[in-house]
Structure 1
Amino acid sequence: MFKLVSVVAAGLALAGCGTITRGANEDVSIQVTPATAKITTTLGNVCTGSCLVKAPRNKSFVVTAEAPGYASQVVPVGVHATGAGTAGMAGNLVVGGLIGIGVDAATGAINDHFPNPVIIKLEPVAAPAKPARPSRRAPAKAAAPVS
């Protein structure tokens, strides 16, 4: 009987821990147009076109998109506490205790990244204006003075 109670208690303790239920990382979707754009993040991720990156829940980062003929774009991705994350933290208050609260706070398990998905539409760079060519026609003659 003691073993059954111990297993149930352990299950409840783990269910309340956001790090266990949500994980310390989150998948962040990056959707980019044009599909040939190169994506880099300050977390060290590099991909071409739309992709999915795994980001630590406790870290903000920056996404940069670039493609030839398009203006580069930089998008900061932040973190904030969400309902699902705070529910896990509340479970720690009931069952997980201070250790669970400390682990969730350290791993950022209460956080989600925003924006997620990151949507980037690169704008084409306008071609440089061609300089006006000087006219090859001879300048007009001045009218003769009238006497």
Structure 2
Amino acid sequence: MKTITVVAAIAAALSLSACATVTRGTNTAWEVTSVPTGAEVHTSNGFHCEATPCAIKMPRKSEFVATLTMDGYEPATITVTNKVGTGGGTAMAGNVLVGGLIGAVVDGSSGAMLDLTPNPATVTLQAQRHAEADQTGEQ
């Protein structure tokens, strides 16, 4: 009977390990909007969307620069990093309390406990200055 209890306890601990990986997943939707809307977005890690507002499925452990472009506006960039999210921190605490060292390692390496920041992101585009408007007539 004691063997069955030990096996059941081990099985329970293993099933609870890597809580964030199971409950949150390793990807998330990164949302970006622009003022004005309709900008194209390209990220330094190879993702893109045709027009804002949009959401791009990204690995939670990503760190990247997003460049927004739109005719008549200067290109704008935003740096996106990651941090331990509330849900990820809770899952990690569960791993520690239950003794799921394996789960803690899996959640830490998979990025499941992380959230992208800023998310959502809002970028204000600046209108291009025309060369003619910059000329003062002096030579």
Q: Return 5+ residue gaps in structure 1 as ranges.
A: 134-147
CA deviation profile, 1:81-123 (whole Å, cap 9, x unmatched): 1222111011111225111011001111121111001101211
Matched pairs, number: 131
CA deviation profile, 1:47-96 (whole Å, cap 9, x unmatched): 12221011111121111001121011010001011222111011111225
- Structure 2 CA distance for aligned equivalents of residues 36 and 88 of structure 1: 37
Larger radius of gyration: 1
Percent of aligned positions with the same letter in both sequences? 36
CA RMSD, 1 decimal: 2.8
Moved over 6 A (4+): none
Match of 1:132 in 2: 137
Match of 1:37 in 2: 39
2:24 is the counterpart of 1:19 = no
- Structure 2 CA distance for aligned equivalents of residues 106 and 96 of structure 1: 17
- Structure 2 CA distance for aligned equivalents of residues 100 and 41 of structure 1: 31
Q: 1:38 Cα shift? A: 1.2
Q: 1:37 Cα shift? A: 1.5
CA contact (8 A) 2:18 2:104 kept: no
Q: Which SS does the other structure have where 1:101 is aligned? A: helix
Match of 1:65 in 2: 68
Q: Which SS does the other structure have where 1:103 is aligned? A: helix
Q: Which SS does the other structure have where 1:35 is aligned? A: coil
Q: Return 5+ residue gaps in structure 2 as ranges.
A: none
What residue identity is the alignment partner of 1:104? D
Match of 1:137 in 2: none
- Structure 2 CA distance for aligned equivalents of residues 30 and 84 of structure 1: 21
- Structure 1 CA distance for aligned equivalents of residues 99 and 28 of structure 2: 22
Match of 2:117 in 1: 114
Aligned pair partner of 2:59 in 56, 61, 66: 56
TM-score by length of structure 1 reads 0.76
- Structure 2 CA distance for aligned equivalents of residues 26 and 36 of structure 1: 22
What residue identity is the alignment partner of 1:132? G
CA contact (8 A) 1:62 1:75 kept: yes
